[in-house]
Amino acid sequence: MIIWIILGLVILILLWLWLTYNGLVRARVRADESLSDITVQEKRRLDLIPNLVETVKGYAKHEKGTLEEVTKARAAVMKAPAGDLAQRAEAENMLSSTLKSLFAVTENYPDLKANENFLQLQSELTDTEDKIQASRRFYNGNIRAFNMKLQVFPTNMIGNMLGFKPRDFYDVAEREKEAIKKAPDVSF
């Protein structure tokens, strides 16, 4: 009889370990997937920018500085290491800021604002920016859930034993606050 009780307890403990491990793996995979979603949207934005810059170039030839800043910011994003979230977030924020400057410059060109190609590109870029923000929120939600699993008892013991490590949030809040405070420079 005691053997059956011990065997039952061993089976329950193994079942609990199996479920805990699988829960941690699922949370980690969701976090990886959500980071991939951010990357897809950022890639889409990077692909749209050259078309937007070329469209604006035709109308605003003397806005060379702003166009160069957008191009430099895009290059910085492309060079940012994929594994370094802080550096990548900083480059992404710089790109967002220069795009705001570009859209501010275009306000001075009524013909450009009415250009169908420009309007479509601007709309797609705005939609992509919204998707990037949503992807970042989704990622941070998944990271919060994953990190919480790693901190609550008794999952924290299993997670630590199996080498699971907390992940960093995709944090651009402070940089975005600074960018919002500073109005884009528009000069002629």
Q: What is the pLDDT of residue 115?
A: 67
The pTM for the full model equals 0.64
State how far the alpha carbon of 102 is from the alpha carbons of 45, 68, 89, 128, in Å.
Answer: 14, 10, 20, 16
- Residues of the chain with confidence (pLDDT) below 50: 175, 179-188
**Residue 24 contacts residue 150 (beta carbons within 8 Å):** yes
Q: What is the pLDDT of residue 112?
A: 61
Q: What is the pLDDT of residue 183?
A: 42
Q: What is the pLDDT of residue 25?
A: 92
To the question of domain 2-181 being in CATH 3.40.630.40, the answer is: no
One DSSP character per residue, 36-70 reads HHHHHHHHHHHHHHHHHHHHHHHH-TT-HHHHHHH
